[in-house]
Structure 1
Amino acid sequence: MISSTFKILEVNLSSGRSTIRSLPGVATYLGGSGLAAKLHLDYAKPELAWDDPLQPLIFCIGPLTGFFPLMSKTVCAFTSPLHGQYAESHAGGRSALALRFAGLDALVIIGRSERPMVLHLGANVIEFMDAGYLWGKDALTTGKLLRRILKGSGHRTIMRIGVAGENKSAMACINVDTYRHFGRLGGGAVMGAKNVKAIAIEGNGSQGLPEGKDYGALYDDIYRKLTDTDMMRKYHNLGTASNLEALNELKALPWRNLQATSDPGIEGITGERFADDTLLRNAACSGCPVGCIHIGFVREKFDKDNQYLYRQVGYDYEPIFATGSMLGLTHAPEVLTVMDEVEKAGLDVMSGGVALAWATEALEKGVVTAEQTGIELRFGDVQGYLKAVHLLAGAASEFWKLLAAGTMVAAKHYGGEDFACVLGQEMAGYATGEVFYVSQSLGLRHSHLDTGAYSYDQSNAPKDVDKALAFLLEDERERVVLTSMVACLFARKVYEPDTLRQCLTVLGGRELADNLDDAAASIQKLRWQARMAGGFDPMAVKIPKRFLEVTTWKGQADPEYLESLRLAYATAIIEMSKLPQ
């Protein structure tokens, strides 16, 4: 079942030509993150701007995609508009199975279309469709229209951008099948720069399964662990939204641009409150029996006779933090309303929410004026934020254009760097302490999922730089295997190394199984080599003053420990990224 080579479709938008490539090295690169880093090193042009037509947009799946549950993610790789270097973003939906049933391990898009277009492909189709009529449409409307035009069913994914991507915002995401996203680091801007409004992939091919009893028995065992034990129950029930109350109680939930870490207003935005007052249903990515996607509703009045339209909005912890506590909003329906506008605009919700929080404090402090923003913003004022979302996505003035390039870009221009909540990119919702601040600010994706540093902080481990560094390096290496497979990280306790080896073996991948530890170390280094090739300097990373000022459950951060760990991790990254002599 597992081939020794990768099947890669290269599409050149400038020439209108496509090519199937065969790339050896499955046992070395595995797929997903490993394959994405390899392809980016092959295709990317570090000397050119991020939006140059020659820069690639890459989508990769893994060797277990389509064979086992929760192997449901796709890795998207590109040169980021935020920092001009290698970036990865991960998403689920139907994207991974669509690529698998289209017969592909990876899709590489280069060039730029002369006109807005939709790339439509499958096992037996490659089509460039005119999309002039879609340009300017929001991400949700674009998906709705394309579902009517492209009548396929089954394993079909529609990846599209909103106005933020068209305007090449560094916060622009790629919306995947409405409720999932390649969210962080500006992948939507890369699509916009290529004049691609959407990518529709039809999984209209077929895939065989292994013969014999071993595969079925292993599949059943994994399925049972995912559905009949407590391992995944949290994600189905309240979902990650259940973390809000716990982190607020722990004094680790950012409020009002991280001016506080706990607030009584949490009662209006807990996981229980969202479930009781807004939850309509659960949904799942293709190939997942858990159903962690929680879909709430908002009401929109659409005529003078008080008739209402109900809109469905997916939510979980990070969007609630970003458009709720970070903005001082404490009423679940209002949070969902802002979230809905963010979805339409095609903005990454974490970056967008944190950016608006900085803008609000900057207005309060007089760092910027209402004349510059064109709008008044106040923490807790939902109407201001509903307007601001579209100003940010549309880069409506000099202020909003600078903010769309990244919160720290605007802060360096206007002032307010000390209270810009940026850790490499706009922070995730965990004010847990020094290890997390270092992990996100220096991590390859600047993501809270690069490592489990927020959990390490919560364990109240002693301030030992060597132990914290060892944790960061080892946890990253373990996660690299999962993101190369490409597994949902919610299932990391199920897919421990021995289980992964069994999965690979029953699919005929004995060499991959035997080489898993070496591949993990190699891919970890390869990804850092891809990042460093673009000019990343770990030693230059700074952590804003706000993270030292705020009081958490452990008190204020220890600046000496924070700096020592930052330097140690930066040194380790530089060592990992060195090419062999």
Structure 2
Amino acid sequence: MLRRVLYIDLDKKESFVEDRYDLFEEWLGGTGVATQLLLEECPEGADPLSPRAPIIFGIGPLTALFPAMTKTVAAFKSPLNGELGESYAGGRLAMAMRFAGHEGLVIRGAAESPCYISIRDDEVKIKDATSIWGIPATVVGYILREVEAGVGRRSIIRIGPGGERLVRYAGVVVDTYRHFGRLGLGAVFGSKNLKAIVVSGTEDVELPNSKRYRDIYNQLFKTVVQTDAMEKYHDIGTPINVNVLNQMKGLPTRNFQDSSFEAAENISGENLADNYLLRRVSCAHCPIGCIHIGMLKTSFSRHHEFEIRKISYDYELIYALGSNLGVTTPEGMLELIEACERQGLDAISTGVVLAWATEALDRGIITEEETLGVPLKWDGVEGYLEAIERIVKAPNDFYSTLARGVVAASDRYGGEDFAMALGGNEVAGYHTGPAFIFGLAVGVRHSHLDNAGYSIDQAAAKKPLTPEEMVDAIIAEDDARGVYNSLIGCLFARGVYTPDRIVEALGSVGIEKTKDDLQILGRKIFDEKYRFKLREGFDLSKSRIPRRFYETVSTVGMVDPETIETMMEIYRERRSWG
């Protein structure tokens, strides 16, 4: 079986395909293979925004073959924190890569002028993008779909002005409603003068044992659609967490100064579903429909003319641009989400940066001289909209610094105690307790999706866990997700794909593994990611944890710094390189 990786060199304007069966045989696919390609392609110490720093995309052996196996991984050196950059997106990209016949994609070098890449099966063209440079990410897709073939098996990914101007937390928009959001992939695109990639394919997928495949496919499909395993993701989606976390005192509010929000009901998933939900859509080859599209009705004329804007929302966006900024109305929150979409910015990082700036202004650490008169205040939607544009345009040193992330901002102006980042990555929307804090600090990409520490805290709220038990749970989840993210599936379906079913699904496509094989592989993948992190300067002993985490009550009560230090000591004993 061929395991094809497509290499594209923007400097030389050429491409070629290699069979990398060796990598896929050992590392399975997805993040396992992408990590190895990153280690191969990225020179030690390379500037993340230099032509030497590559972009890697990968899919897995189950992509487009089983329900919810919908994700693509991007691996790169992060311009936000200078070490491992890893981001995941759904949409149609994974399917398009599968039908184009490529399980991996490596982009090298940088173009001399704005370009986009068109991939159709083995045909690769590097095309001029001068006319769409500077155009919002939300518009570029409409333009390219008119000039590129492949409807139905096509994916269009692109950056906005934020990526072009190298905002360190710029993302990549995937098929309108999905994103490679975290850790600055959009800025890496911009540094390469790469505006977009269009992928389409006409290939078929051959299966070695169609009956075995159908049997396990039917089992998985029935579990997904005929049980309640994924029902909540369709009905209200992740925004159901707003009210739940608010009641548990785990909803970060006004830059983590509080852990509950008096206006939570206004921006809750229930209110959005009842009064703003326009429709639900799915990623390719997923029957759930977890992508919730909100309707924002606004007047654009004094003659009572209105327009309807369609805006995708989920829990993390509601936290970052809602409760964390003290925004009390769904309309204000949706406007801020759309502003990030237009500019192509990661919503989590943007919200955390704006929350820090609001508190810094309130404390007198910065003044309106730095903000150029923009009034940053809680629930000040108009000021936040203006600030988002200025972060991208960088009219002065202050906004240029905000574009580098909250750590850079606090290093420059002060306020480290309330600069809410771990591992250089702005934090997600949970203040549940020590497992969340610790999990972000040690995770491979400092993301809540590395090991779901927040869920461990929630379990501890019902039945107390020792530091050892929390550390062991974090390690087990980190390793398990190395395998699952190599398959490469949506984490919402994590409970559907049990170890036994994963073994069966792999066997049906000709990959024979045991549960023990997969457990060992998960640990190896994690260690390889840390090999890259350590090579690029990451030092766990120098982790900076904002004091704000210890000043605000969490779901499990006040967090003690000594608890985190104890967990770190245990972790160093458990991990050989810690």
TM-score range, shorter chain: over 0.9
- Matched with 2:223 is 225
> Are 2:12 and 1:10 aligned?
no
More moved, 385-394 vs 75-84: 385-394
| C-alpha distance in 1 between matches for 2:513 and 2:278 | 46
| C-alpha distance in 2 between matches for 1:440 and 1:392 | 26
AA in 1 matched with 2:435: V
| C-alpha distance in 2 between matches for 1:448 and 1:123 | 35
- Matched with 2:528 is 526
Tell whether the 8 Å contact from 2:96 to 2:153 is kept in structure 1 after alignment: yes
SS in 1 for 2:130: coil
- Matched with 1:198 is 196
| C-alpha distance in 1 between matches for 2:515 and 2:263 | 49
- Matched with 2:53 is 55
> Are 2:205 and 1:207 aligned?
yes
SS in 2 for 1:146: helix
Tell whether the 8 Å contact from 1:346 to 1:393 is kept in structure 2 after alignment: no
SS in 2 for 1:265: coil
- Matched with 2:171 is 173
More moved, 516-525 vs 544-553: 516-525
Tell whether the 8 Å contact from 1:170 to 1:185 is kept in structure 2 after alignment: yes
AA in 1 matched with 2:330: A
- Matched with 1:485 is 487
> Are 2:426 and 1:426 aligned?
yes
Deviation per CA, 1:505-543: give whole Å up to 9, x if none.
Answer: 111111577732222222121111122121111111110
Kindly report the root-mean-square deviation, in angstroms, between the aligned alpha carbons of the 2 structures.
Answer: 1.5
Tell whether the 8 Å contact from 2:439 to 2:450 is kept in structure 1 after alignment: yes
Tell whether the 8 Å contact from 1:165 to 1:188 is kept in structure 2 after alignment: yes
Equivalent residues in 2 for 1:541-580, closer than 5 Å = 541-570=543-572, 572-573=574-575, 575-576=576-577
Equivalent residues in 2 for 1:376-395, closer than 5 Å = 376-395=375-394
SS in 1 for 2:273: helix
More moved, 321-330 vs 464-473: 464-473
- Matched with 2:19 is 22
Shift of 1:26: 2.1
Q: Residue 550 and residue 63 in structure 1: after superposition, are their counterparts in 2 closer, same or farther (change >3 A)?
A: same
Shift of 1:436: 0.5
Tell whether the 8 Å contact from 1:27 to 1:511 is kept in structure 2 after alignment: no
Tell whether the 8 Å contact from 2:499 to 2:515 is kept in structure 1 after alignment: no
- Matched with 1:331 is 329
| C-alpha distance in 1 between matches for 2:565 and 2:392 | 35
Q: Normalization by structure 2: what TM-score?
A: 0.97
AA in 2 matched with 1:87: G
Deviation per CA, 1:282-332: give whole Å up to 9, x if none.
Answer: 000001001100000112333332211111000110000011000101111
More moved, 71-80 vs 545-554: 545-554
AA in 2 matched with 1:401: S
Kindly tell me the number of residue pairs found equivalent between the two proteins: 573
Shift of 1:421: 1.1
Shift of 1:212: 4.0
Tell whether the 8 Å contact from 1:257 to 1:421 is kept in structure 2 after alignment: yes
Tell whether the 8 Å contact from 2:7 to 2:105 is kept in structure 1 after alignment: yes
Tell whether the 8 Å contact from 2:210 to 2:508 is kept in structure 1 after alignment: no
- Matched with 1:84 is 82
AA in 1 matched with 2:216: L
Tell whether the 8 Å contact from 2:23 to 2:33 is kept in structure 1 after alignment: no
Tell whether the 8 Å contact from 1:27 to 1:519 is kept in structure 2 after alignment: no
| C-alpha distance in 2 between matches for 1:355 and 1:382 | 15
Tell whether the 8 Å contact from 1:56 to 1:78 is kept in structure 2 after alignment: yes
Shift of 1:124: 3.6
SS in 2 for 1:154: coil
SS in 2 for 1:466: helix
> Are 2:154 and 1:156 aligned?
yes
| C-alpha distance in 1 between matches for 2:159 and 2:23 | 33
- Matched with 2:437 is 437
Identity over the aligned pairs, expressed in percent? 41
- Matched with 1:142 is 140
| C-alpha distance in 1 between matches for 2:370 and 2:64 | 51
| C-alpha distance in 2 between matches for 1:53 and 1:443 | 27
| C-alpha distance in 1 between matches for 2:574 and 2:177 | 37
- Matched with 1:41 is 39
More moved, 109-118 vs 451-460: 451-460
| C-alpha distance in 2 between matches for 1:193 and 1:278 | 37
AA in 2 matched with 1:568: I
Deviation per CA, 1:422-478: give whole Å up to 9, x if none.
Answer: 122111001001111011122111110101210111112535222221111111111
- Matched with 1:498 is 500
AA in 2 matched with 1:12: D
| C-alpha distance in 1 between matches for 2:204 and 2:467 | 51
Over 6 Å off, 4+ runs: none
Deviation per CA, 1:1-59: give whole Å up to 9, x if none.
Answer: xx3x5311110000011111122132321111100110011000122211110111000
Shift of 1:569: 2.9
More moved, 440-449 vs 386-395: 386-395
Shift of 1:151: 3.8
Q: Which runs of 5+ in 2 are unaligned?
A: none
Deviation per CA, 1:49-74: give whole Å up to 9, x if none.
Answer: 11110111000000111211111000
Tell whether the 8 Å contact from 1:244 to 1:317 is kept in structure 2 after alignment: yes
Shift of 1:207: 1.9
Of 101, 104, 110 in structure 2, the residue corresponding to residue 103 of structure 1 is 101
Q: Normalization by structure 1: what TM-score?
A: 0.96
Shift of 1:395: 2.6
AA in 1 matched with 2:19: S
Q: Residue 191 and residue 512 in structure 1: after superposition, are their counterparts in 2 closer, same or farther (change >3 A)?
A: farther
| C-alpha distance in 2 between matches for 1:332 and 1:218 | 42
SS in 1 for 2:362: helix
Equivalent residues in 2 for 1:272-283, closer than 5 Å = 272-283=270-281
Shift of 1:211: 4.3
Equivalent residues in 2 for 1:456-467, closer than 5 Å = 456-460=456-460, 461-462=463-464, 464-467=466-469
| C-alpha distance in 2 between matches for 1:139 and 1:52 | 23
More moved, 116-125 vs 225-234: 116-125
| C-alpha distance in 1 between matches for 2:291 and 2:229 | 16
| C-alpha distance in 2 between matches for 1:377 and 1:129 | 41
Tell whether the 8 Å contact from 2:444 to 2:526 is kept in structure 1 after alignment: no
